[in-house]
Amino acid sequence: MSTCECDEYATAGASRAEQSIRDAVCASRRARQRAARERAKRQRRAILVAASVIAVFAIGWKTVSTGTTAALTDLVTPSTRPSILAASAAPDEPVGPATPLFATYRSLDLHLSVAEEDLTELAFHQAAGPSALPMESLLPDADPELADHKRGTSRAIPQRDPDAEEPAVLTGEVIRMWRSNRTGAPNTAADIGAAAGAAVYAPVDGTVIEVKPYLLYDLHEDFEIHIQPMGWPEIDLVIIHVTDPSVAAGELVVGGVTRIASVRLLSDKVIHQLADYTPDAGDHIHMQLNRVEEPGATEGAGES
């Protein structure tokens, strides 16, 4: 809870009873935010500890058998992922299911970057740069005119099995948005809508390469978060339109589980195309996969 959000409860002229209620609500929200921050810190520490333990054994085994050592990201494999997931929670806090999958690039699965219940709408469009890679949607295309008329695709949230071992696939439809000033098919960038302040999760297992501030359109403060997906050194996954990043370069992240930031409020500065299909002003995160020449290199998203 930011100070400005909390200030709405300090209304001038409120009675003592009303103010007490508002103070209690505000205190509760602050407590939830503190708890969320602590969970995120525990998660990051546990992931690094678990990965380090795995590395000690794996590197020792590889040194004996092949005379080589393994990169840390290569040690976070599908077989070791459950251990890292289990270690990422506090002892009295069960590990929740990962966010659902919404797209793929070849064999790389892409998790939804916000909680399913926070999602306002999902859309693909053309990226600004030539290095962006095409993503294959796991959802069928919506009728854009109908989605425009209805202000969305009327997505329902199904009941999910919390004990399922495999991640779920997002249900509903996906919107294709066209940018008249760009060429190519609308599948190289994804806008994942959610209200400002909603939690943003890593879309893939991997390593954070860079977190840096920049100016969107050379005007508006924003952050870029770059992740190298596990097993894909030629890919730089970049997310923009976020604030309060909770990861740093070198940290491991678990797809659909590790919180990396919050959705940034930009609808008070920018007219979002996604707003044509949402009941709100269309705030969202922008995600794309860029092909890079060297492992660990990064490339910005360019325009949104």
Q: Are strands 259-263 and 235-243 parallel, antiparallel or unpaired?
A: antiparallel
- For 197, other C-beta atoms within 10 Å of its C-beta total 17
Q: Which CATH architecture has domain 98-291?
A: Distorted Sandwich (2.70)
Tell me how far apart the alpha carbons of residues 226 and 265 are, in angstroms, rounded to a whole number.
20
Hey, which of 27-41, 146-160, 283-297 has the most confident mean pLDDT?
Answer: 283-297
- pLDDT, position 41: 52
pLDDT at 147: 87
Question: Is the confidence at residue 124, as pLDDT, over 70?
Answer: yes
Among 10-19, 68-77, 196-205, the minimum mean pLDDT is found in 68-77
Handedness of CA 259, 113, 158, 106 (dihedral sign): negative
Above 50 in pLDDT, residue 210?
Answer: yes
pLDDT in tens, 79-106: 565 555 555 444 444 456 899 999 999 9
Name every residue whose Cβ is closer than 8 Å to that of residue 43 and which is 6 or more positions away in sequence: 88, 89, 257, 258, 259
| pLDDT on residue 149 | 85
> CA–CA separation, 57 vs 146, rounded Å?
55
**DSSP assignment letter at 116:** G
Which residue do the tokens 């008249």 mark? 180
Average pLDDT over residues 287-302: 92
Helix (H) or strand (E) run with residue 262 in it: strand 259-263
Query: Cα–Cα distance between 187 and 207 in angstroms, integer?
Result: 24
| Paired residues of 227 in beta bridges | 208, 237
Contact in structure between 203 and 237 (CB atoms under 8 Å): yes
* Predicted TM-score (pTM) above 0.85: no
pLDDT tens for residues 245-282? 999 999 999 999 999 999 999 999 999 989 999 999 99
Interatomic CA distance for residues 229 and 202, integer angstroms: 10
Eight-state DSSP code of residue 119: -
pLDDT grade, residue 160 (50/70/90)?
confident
Residue 165 confidence (pLDDT) above 90 = no
Domain boundaries of the chain, sorted by first residue = 3-73, 98-291
